[in-house]
Structure 1
Amino acid sequence: MAELHLSAPTPTYDTPTPRWVSLLTDVGRPVVAAWVMIMCAPGEHHLGKLAGWNDTLAWGMAGVLAAYAGIAAAVASKRPKGAPGKFSAVAGAWLSLAAAMSAQPVSHLFVTGHWTADPRPPVWLVVTVSCIPPLVLGHLLHLAATPVRARTTRVTAPAEPKTDPATPTPPAVDAPPTIVWAQAVPQGARFLPIVTRTAAATKPIEYSDPRCAAIRPLYETGLRPGTKAMRAAIIAAGLDDCSDGMIRGQLRAEVELHEPHLAALPPAPVAIGA
């Protein structure tokens, strides 16, 4: 029989960081960064002089490389993943780091005598160092012109209606129940129509002729009204009479155009129409 070994979970401890450690971290990073730039400046200044700049302008090489490394690293760390310019910023950070690192050994090789600039420095060194400032400027302008994140469409939520605190909010009223009306069965009808309506208000139908509205209630019997019944309804409503063809071909047709199911009702008996 296999044995089951249970091991207790490894406890975790949340130990607060001592104040002196946080202070050393906060102060130490800018101090180290400053000393690194001071130590690298002579080598970069030396390469600037070898490339042809005078003693004053050659110090700009140290400032250009230091600023390029700092700006590219800051942009690369702040750009979210997938944002425009993220890859370019990361590549620029690595390029600035490589330029700052390569400047030191190249300069030291000349200073220590492993390489010589007599009677003049190599062509590749002059061309490479001379191209650094314009390339740095172009890349920094590219990073500045690239948007930080992709443009998104902001959807504004509809504002909630303002209520007066002094006015009590009326309680919510439930929707009224569904009402089922059963129509009376005229003599001669073949079935009992049951019309289901809801008490909720619906948008009324707008007819082009008011006589259509006088005809529409006749369908509530569950039968399709005849010509005489429709004429009687029109006259009872106080509207102008019209021909049989207009009653059937225009008025009744318009009613059934808005509600096609009415045309499928069985026709009313002649006695009811009369």
Structure 2
Amino acid sequence: MAELHPSAPIATYDTPTPRWVNLLTDFGRPVVAAWVMIMCAPGEHHLGKLAGWNDTLAWGMAGVLAAYAGIAAAVATKRPKGAPGKFSAVAGAWLSLAAAMSAQPVSHMFVTGHWTAEPRPPVWLVVTVSCIPPLVLGHLLHLAATPVRVKAVTPVVTQEQPETAPVTQASVPGEPPTTTPRHPVVPAGVQLLPIVPRPVAQAPTAPPSAPPIMYDDPRCAAIRPLYDTGLRPGTKAMRAAIIAAGFADCSDGIIRGTLRAEIERHEPHLAQLPPAPVAFTA
């Protein structure tokens, strides 16, 4: 068997994902998320009632924890590394998951009789559950008040100043030097021709540049440079660009059906490019 040189490129193959796998990934996740919220809602409702809310308002505890977990996780995923609020969003996502998970065993301990709420619930439970809604509201407002800012750098152009310093000459030793302007000396009797200015060619004016494209999904900006090679990128190349830009991995259906479709909707000519070879795509 022939040995490969260490610097030789290794070709990988972009195996197409079966359609049923993409359907299960795209539509199965919202179904699972809905069932998880339905299963967690009774325990969070029970804690709300133990904390002192009536039966109707206690259902708001389930909605508060579910919305907090979803919003914090979405902000933590979409916000790039180093952006304002990235650390706070990640911490809030973990905190929301911890609150949602701890609500279930605490409620089940009371329901199954391991703990008792008679004659009244414990003080620590009442205080903790009562503080959850205002803390969630404060953190969501904090995330909304820290948008991603892009720092623009303006280049500074300096112009070279013409040399206008006069020429200083020392005529006689011991006397102060005389300053004469920097002009040529014309001998007597020499007739000078008039100076005719030469026309200066005007540089062609560059056409106005098109305004930048604003994508609905920020992950499209990480994929768009792949088209500059003159080839239509494949799924693995787009996934590698998304992960390199600091975003989370996503399914093949989202990469091809949502992100690449949005890029080619803004620039239809990109869809006509030849597909990239397998080795280049990888």
- Alpha-carbon displacement from aligned partner over 1:24-73 (angstroms, at most 9, x marks no partner): 11000111111100110000000000000000000000000000000110
Relative contact order, CA 8 A, sep 6+: which one is greater?
2
The letter of the residue matching 1:131 is C
Q: Number of aligned pairs?
A: 175
Counterpart for residue 39 of structure 1: 39
C-alpha displacement of 1:225? 8.6
Q: CA deviation at 1:206?
A: 9.9
Native 8 Å contact 2:89 2:143 kept in 1? yes
Q: Which residue matches 1:139?
A: 139
CA change 1:6–1:132 in 2 (3 A) is same
Partner of 1:107: 107
Per-residue deviation, 1:84: 1.3
Q: Quick check: 2:171–2:178 contact (8 Å CA) kept in 1?
A: no
Q: What does the per-residue CA deviation read over 1:149-206, in whole Å, with 9 as the maximum and x for residues that have no partner?
A: 4x41243899xxxxxxxxxxxxxxxxxxxxxxxxxxxxxxxxxxxxxxxxxxx97969
Over the aligned positions, Cα root-mean-square deviation in angstroms equals: 3.5
**Separation (CA, whole Å) in 1 of partners of 2:92 and 2:65:** 11
* Alignment correspondent of 1:255: 180
- CA drift of 1:146 comes to 1.2
1:98 aligns with 2:98: yes
- Which residue identity lines up with residue 255 of structure 1 in the other structure? T
Partner SS for 1:133: helix
Question: Which residue identity lines up with residue 96 of structure 1 in the other structure?
Answer: S
Measure, in 2, the Cα distance between the counterparts of 1:147 and 1:11: 41
* 1:43-192 superposed matches below 5 A: 43-149=43-149, 151-155=150-154
Change (3 A) 1:224 1:34: same
Unaligned 5+ residue runs, structure 2? 185-282
Shift of the 74–157 alpha-carbon distance from structure 1 to 2, 3 Å rule, reads: farther
From the superposition, tell whether residues 71 and 224 of structure 1 become closer, same or farther in structure 2 (CA, over 3 Å): same
Are residues 253 and 19 of structure 1, via their aligned partners in 2, closer, same or farther at CA, if it must alter by over 3 Å? Answer: same
d(CA) in 2 for partners of 1:81, 1:30: 26
Q: 1:11 to 1:72 in 2, by over 3 A?
A: same
> Which amino acid in 1 is paired with 2:40?
C
Which one has the largest radius of gyration? 1
Cα distance in 2 between the residues matched to 1:206 and 1:10: 65
TM-aligned CA deviation for residue 148 of structure 1: 1.6
- Deviation, structure 1 residue 147: 2.6
Aligned position for 1:170: none
The alpha carbon displacement at 1:78 in A equals 1.1
Identity fraction in percent: 77
Could you say if the C-alpha distance between residues 109 and 253 of structure 1 is closer, same or farther in structure 2, counting changes exceeding 3 Å?
same
SS of match in other structure, 1:254: strand
Q: Distance in 2 between matches of 1:63 and 1:73?
A: 15
Query: CA 1:205–1:139 in structure 2 vs 1: closer, same or farther (change >3 Å)?
Result: closer
* Shift of residue 253, structure 1, vs aligned partner: 2.9
Give, as a single letter, the amino acid of the residue that structure 2 aligns with 1:68: Y
2 CA distance for matches of 1:153 and 1:13? Answer: 40
2:180 partner SS: helix
Q: Is the CA contact 2:64–2:133 (under 8 Å) kept in the aligned structure 1?
A: yes
Asked if structure 1 preserves the Cα contact closer than 8 Å seen for 2:76 and 2:93, the reply is: yes
Gaps in structure 1 of 5+ consecutive residues: 159-201, 208-215, 217-222, 227-247, 263-274
Report the CA distance shift for 1:206/1:28 in structure 2 as closer, same or farther (over 3 A): same
How many Å apart are 1:19 and its aligned residue? 1.1
Distance 1:119 1:224, change over 3 A: closer
2:212 corresponds to: none
Q: State the TM-score, normalizing by the size of structure 1.
A: 0.55
